Amino acid sequence: MTAREGRVLILSAFAALAALGAALFLNLPRGLVSESGIFWGVRVPEALTAALVGGSLGLAGLLFQLVLRNGLADPYVLGVAGGSTFGAVLATLALGGAATAFGLPMTALAAFAGGLVTLFGLLRISSGKVTALLLGGVVANTAFAAGARVLTAWLSPSQLAWVTAFLVGFIPTPPLWAPLLLAPPALYTLARFAARGRGLDLLLLSDDEASSLGLAVGRMRTEALVLATLLSASAVALCGMIGFVGLVVPHVARLAAGRRHRVLVPASFLLGAAFLLAAHALGKVLSGTWFLPVGVYTSLVGAPVFLVLLVRTQRRAW
């Protein structure tokens, strides 16, 4: 590891810790921490959720961009978030009154199934052409969002309020065990690909070159796509459609650290956590003035970045 890469990892970890501190303590009501349990009952679960979801989306975006070899790929643009959202809303409708007891695990499973079917369906339809895949993802996202809104006609008022926030992207106040459901797939994927950074680097080469160097290209790509979809679906199951984290974070990590995935994998996870925690902390600060879901803040940052990347891609194509 070079000195530059080491500095990037240290700074990424510092950014994540600073954002975590801000999410935990900014605008915290005084005198209520020990009396009403706001800190442990609200702030800690929300901060853990934001950190794990942000890190998962940042890492998923890195894997999607690498496997598809396109800097515009992320769970939101590819339609994975839309398919996962539709699956989660459908599960909520099917569970009905049992949603309180079994909602999160079943919602996560339905979200994973919806995201996986969407991704591999679009891959098959597009025949591996990235432009067609991205356009199909945008169409799929719009269609699934519309389908989720249609399903709201059969939801109860409490479920309707949840789905409305779900379609924008928000950080809920779950029980303390809920974000821990996301920890195993997130930490497994982080450790798995941080240890196989050289294999991810070889995916930047042509298939023949990578195969000649001993990499099982098809297996690596499939594993990366499945785990990235699992991370995206888990994030959707907890927080809904939070867009553009997986688009912005990998580009920031590459600008800072270069292209070695041994460093990019942990850096993308840490920077993704820092990004979403910072957006969540900003929402806490502004909550006295107006309340906006965290997905609004990430979209305000991500949409201009997407346009800049799109223009740069078109210029290179010409």
Query: Could you report the per-residue pLDDT of 56-104, keeping only the tens digit for each?
Result: 999 999 999 999 888 888 888 888 888 888 888 888 777 665 544 445 6
Query: Could you report the per-residue pLDDT of 106-141, keeping only the tens digit for each?
Result: 777 888 888 888 888 888 888 767 778 888 888 888
Dihedral angle over CA of 188, 203, 252, 2, nearest 10 = 80
Residue type, 258: G
3-state secondary structure of 205: coil
Quote the pTM value. Answer: 0.89
Whose tokens are 């996560």? That residue is 108
Give me the domain span that covers residue 277: 3-317
- Tell me what pLDDT residue 224 has: 92
Contact 316, 71 (CB under 8 A): no
Report the C-alpha gap between 202 and 28 in whole angstroms: 47
Q: What is the mean pLDDT of the chain?
A: 84
Report the C-alpha gap between 290 and 286 in whole angstroms: 6
Longest CA pairwise span in the chain (Å) = 64
Query: Could you report the per-residue pLDDT of 254-295, keeping only the tens digit for each?
Result: 999 888 999 999 999 999 999 999 999 988 888 655 667 888
CATH of the domain at 307: 1.10.3470.10
Number of separate domains in the chain: 1
Whose tokens are 């650290």? That residue is 257
